[in-house]
Structure 1
C-alpha cells in the first residue's frame, strides 16, 4: 500500500484540479451535443495535459497516466468522432475526480484503482490493454527456491499426461469464463497446474509452473475477484500448457514470457497468506508488502458503487412471512395456545399482495380467498378438520411457488431439482439433499486420507480396510441425489482399489495414485459446487471419467445414462 508523501500539496492544488475536471466535463458535454464545436476538445486537451503535469509533481503515477490517456483520447476525437470514446472519456473524468477525493481523504494512492478506467479508454481507442501489474515491480531474474523435485514421469510420457491435465485445466477455465462456481473451478485449475509442475520437474518452464500454480492457489484462498485481466491471465496459462502438448521438449526447455511471470507475482502479492507455496514464492522473489485483494476491491467499491437484487429481497420476505404463519398453525395444531385467526388472515393477505406485486396473480387470488375464509374461523377451530389441513397444504404450495421463484434467479443445479411429489416442501427437500451432499463429501475426504496413509506407509493395505464401507455409503448418497455419472466414477475407483491396490501383486506408481486422486477430487469438486449452490458444470465429471479410464477402469456410458 502506498501512502502519498505530499498530501499538503494536493490539498493546496485540489481546488484547481476540481475546476479543471469540471471545465473538461462541461466542454465534453458541449462537444457531445454539437460535434462541430471542436474548440471544446482543445480546451479538454489543454486541461488534461496541465493535469498530467500536476500529477507528476504530486507523484501520482496512475493519475498522470490517466490524464495522458485522456488527452490522447480527446485529440483523437478531434480527428474522428466516436460515441464509445466520448463515453469512455466522460467515465474517466468522473473516475479521476473520485480518485483525487479518495487520495486526499485516505492518504494513499492505490494506483490499481485506475486500471479499469485506463483500460476502458484504451479499449475505446483500439489500443492494447495495460496489465494489472503495470505499477508493480519485482526482480524477475530470481530463480525458483526451493528447486523443483525430480520428476517420476518419463519424458516420452509427458505430452500425453499434460494433454489430460490440460483438459482438466480447461474444464475449470471454461467454468470460470462462464461465471460458474469460481472457487471450485479454480481449485481444479490449481490442481492441474500443480500436477504439471511435479510431472515436468526441473526444466526451463519449472519456475513458471511453480509461480502460475501458486497464483491460482492464491486466487482460491483469498476469494479474489476475477477481473477481465485475471481471466485473461488464466487463459494465458492454458496457452503455455498447449505449447507443452504440441512442442514437447522444446517448450519445456524455454521460459515463459516475463510479463506472465510479473502478472502472476502481482496476484500472489495480493494474498495475505504466509504459509506454504505462497510464502515460498514471496520469499524467493522478495515481494513487496502490498494491500490485499479484498481491501483493494472494497476500496474500488467506494468509487464505483454496487447494487442488489430486489426480487431476492421480496422472495426472502415472503419466505419469512410464510414461516411465521406455519409456526402459528403448528402451535394451533398442538393446542398450545388460542390462535388469533384474524392475524393469520392478515398475514395471508400480505402474502397475497406480495405475490400479486411480482406477477403471481393466480396464486395471489387463491391466497386471498383463503384469507377471507380463515378470518371467519373461531379460536376453537377444529385442527383435525379438512379446512385446517387445506390451509396447511395451501401454505406449502405457496412456499414452493416462492422457492421456484428463487430458483429461477440462479443457474440450474443438482441440489434444487424438481420434486415429483408436490406435497413435499422444496426447501425441506433441498435441506435433505444438502445433508446427503455433505455426507458424501465427508466420505470422499475419508477415502483420500486412507489412500494418503496407504502411500506414506509403504503401501500397507491395512489403511484401506475401511474403504468398502466408505464407498458403499458414498454410492448410496449419490444414488439418492440421482448423480449417476458421479456414482459410476466412484464405483470405478472402488474397483481399481480392490483389484489393483488390494489384490494386485505390484505396488502402484506415484502417478497412478495421483490419477486416482484426480478422479476422486473431481467428484468432490462437483459436490462442493452443489453445496455452494454455484453449479460447476459436467466438465469436471468428464475429467473424473478420463482419469479412471487412464487407470484401466473406463466408465460404461450405459452406467451414466
Structure 2
C-alpha cells in the first residue's frame, strides 16, 4: 500500500468532497428523471471538475483520473442520452465516495481499487479499457535472467497450431465462466511449452513474462477481471501471429504494454512457480500488495455479498444430519430416542424448504412429523413406519442436494441417480473416490515417465505403466467417461509399442506431447473433483496430442476443436 502524506488535508476537505458528490448525485438523478435538462449535467460536470482539482492537490492519482472520466461522461450525456452511461456514472459517484472514505480511514492509497470503476465508465462510454498496471511503475528495459535456452524454433512452428488450440480451449472455458483453475492451468501449460521452444529470440522475454502472469493467475487463484480477460485474449493474438508468421514473428518484439501488464500480474502473485519468481526478481516487482490483499481491501471498501441459497442449503444439511445421527443410534439400540425432538427437527426442515419454494416436499415432512411425534422411545426400528421415516428423510436430503446442485452447472460427478432410494450425497462420494484413484494413477504415471527420461530412457522405470493405465481405464469406465478412456488406451498403446518395445528413444518432443495428453485428462478429472465443470474442450487437447503421437482416437477427426484460424 502507498501511504499518503496529506491525510490531514483530506480530513479538512472531506466535508466539501462529500457535499460536492451529493450535489452531483442529485443533479444526475434530476437529469435522469426530467429526461434531458442540460443544466443538471452542467452542474454534474462542474462538480466532477472540482473533485479532479481536489484529488490533484491530495496527490490521489486514481481519484484524479476517475473524476476526469466522470466529467467526460457528463459531457458525453449532453450529446447523447445513454441509460447505461447514466447507471455507470451513478455507480462511479458511490465508488469514489467510498474511496475517499477508505483513504481517510486507512491512511493509504491503493489506486488499483478504482481501476474497475474507471473501466466500467469507459466501457459504458464505448472507450477501450485501461490496463490494471496503469499506476504501476517498472523498468521495462531489463533483460530476461537467466537467459533463455537454445530452444527449438522449428519445432515451435510445427507445434504452434496445436499449442494455440490448447491455449484457446482454456481461454474459451475461462470466458464462459467454467472451471477457472483447470482452464488457467491448461493455458499456462501451453505458454510454458511456447516459452521453452522459442529459445533466445526477440519475443523470448514476452513469452517468459506471459507465462509467469498466467501461472500466477492459476496458482494464486487470482480474480479474473475484465482487464485480465482482455490481456489473456491478447496472448492468443500473439499466438496467432506465431502460427501464421512462424520464425519471423519470433524475431519481432511484443508490445511493451503487454509486458508491463504481465509483470504487474506476476507482482500480485506469490512467486510460487520458478518462472514467476524469476520475473519478480528481475523486475523487482514482488514486495507490494498481493492480489488477495487487493481483493480484501476492495471488499472492505465496497462491501461483499454471499449466496443466500448456499447458506440455506448448508443449514438444511446440518439439520438433516443431526436427525440421521439420532435415527442411527435408534437403529443400533444405543440410546432411547426422543421422537418428539425428531418431529421438531422435521418441522424446522419443512419450514426452511417452504422458504425456498419446496412446498410439496415440506408437506410430506410435516405429515411425517405429525405421525411420529407421539412415538415411544422403544419404537420397533424394523417396522414399516420407521423405514418410511428413513425414506422421507432420504428424500429430503436429496432435495437439499438438488438445491445445492442448482448453484453450479451439472457435471460428471453430480449425475442424477436412476434409483430414488440412493442418497445423492453418497453416490457423489463414491464417484469422487473413483476420481481420486484415477488422478493418483495419473500422478504415478507422470512420475514414472519423469524417471524414465532422467535415467537415460531406462524402460525399467515404465514397466509398470500398462497395468497402471489399465486401472485408470477401469475407473474411467465406471465414471462413464468414454472419451477420456479412449485417450488413456491410446497412451497405453503408445507406451507399450514405442517406449517399451521401440528400438530408439522417443525424444523430448514426443514425451512432452504424451504429457499433454495425460495432463488434459488430469485437468478434466480435477474439475470433477473440485465440482467446477471444465467442459470437454480439454479432451480435444488430449485427443489431438495422442493423434500427433500416431494414435488417433476414434471420432476425434469428426469432432474437431474450437480453434479458429480466423480469430
With structure 2 as the length reference, what TM-score do the two structures score?
0.95
Residues 215-243 of structure 1 deviation map (CA, whole Å, 9 limit, x = unaligned): 00011121100000001111110011111
> Contact 2:166–2:187 (CA<8 Å) still a contact in 1?
yes
Aligned pairs for 1:440-451 (under 5 A) are: 440-451=438-449
Residues 508-535 of structure 1 deviation map (CA, whole Å, 9 limit, x = unaligned): 1100000000011111100111111000
Aligned pairs for 1:193-342 (under 5 A) are: 193-273=191-271, 276-287=274-285, 289-342=287-340
Counterpart secondary structure, 1:376: coil
Q: Which moved more, 1:440-449 or 1:67-76?
A: 67-76
What does residue 94 of structure 1 align with?
94
**Which of 486, 508, 511 is equivalent to 1:510?**
508
Summarize the Cα distance change of 1:404–1:557 in structure 2 as closer, same or farther, 3 Å threshold. Answer: same
Counterpart secondary structure, 2:485: helix
Q: Which runs of 4+ in 1 moved over 6 A?
A: none
Q: Which moved more, 1:415-424 or 1:503-512?
A: 415-424
> Contact 1:168–1:540 (CA<8 Å) still a contact in 2?
yes
Q: Which moved more, 1:84-93 or 1:535-544?
A: 84-93
In 2, the alpha carbon distance for the partners of 1:411 and 1:519 equals 25
Residues 77-108 of structure 1 deviation map (CA, whole Å, 9 limit, x = unaligned): 23333322222222211111111111111111
Summarize the Cα distance change of 1:487–1:275 in structure 2 as closer, same or farther, 3 Å threshold. Answer: closer
In 1, the alpha carbon distance for the partners of 2:55 and 2:396 equals 60
**Which of 327, 340, 344 is equivalent to 1:346?**
344
What does residue 416 of structure 1 align with?
414
In 2, the alpha carbon distance for the partners of 1:375 and 1:41 equals 67
In 1, the alpha carbon distance for the partners of 2:454 and 2:166 equals 26
Q: Which moved more, 1:268-277 or 1:167-176?
A: 268-277
Q: Following TM superposition, by how much is the alpha carbon of 1:288 offset from its aligned partner in structure 2, in angstroms?
A: 6.2
Summarize the Cα distance change of 1:268–1:470 in structure 2 as closer, same or farther, 3 Å threshold. Answer: same
In 1, the alpha carbon distance for the partners of 2:79 and 2:103 equals 34
What does residue 33 of structure 2 align with?
33
Structure 2: give runs of 5+ residues left out of the alignment: 560-567
How many residues matched? 559
Residues 477-515 of structure 1 deviation map (CA, whole Å, 9 limit, x = unaligned): 112211111111111111111111110010011000000
What does residue 150 of structure 1 align with?
150
In 2, the alpha carbon distance for the partners of 1:305 and 1:224 equals 19
Aligned pairs for 1:532-547 (under 5 A) are: 532-547=530-545
What does residue 470 of structure 1 align with?
468
Q: Following TM superposition, by how much is the alpha carbon of 1:463 offset from its aligned partner in structure 2, in angstroms?
A: 0.8
> Contact 2:463–2:500 (CA<8 Å) still a contact in 1?
no
Counterpart secondary structure, 1:210: helix
Q: Following TM superposition, by how much is the alpha carbon of 1:5 offset from its aligned partner in structure 2, in angstroms?
A: 1.6
Q: Following TM superposition, by how much is the alpha carbon of 1:185 offset from its aligned partner in structure 2, in angstroms?
A: 0.5
In 2, the alpha carbon distance for the partners of 1:362 and 1:84 equals 42
Summarize the Cα distance change of 1:171–1:306 in structure 2 as closer, same or farther, 3 Å threshold. Answer: same
Residues 162-213 of structure 1 deviation map (CA, whole Å, 9 limit, x = unaligned): 1001111111001100111111110000000110111221222111111101
CA-atom RMSD in angstroms: 1.9
Residues 427-453 of structure 1 deviation map (CA, whole Å, 9 limit, x = unaligned): 011111111111111111110011001
> Contact 1:73–1:125 (CA<8 Å) still a contact in 2?
yes
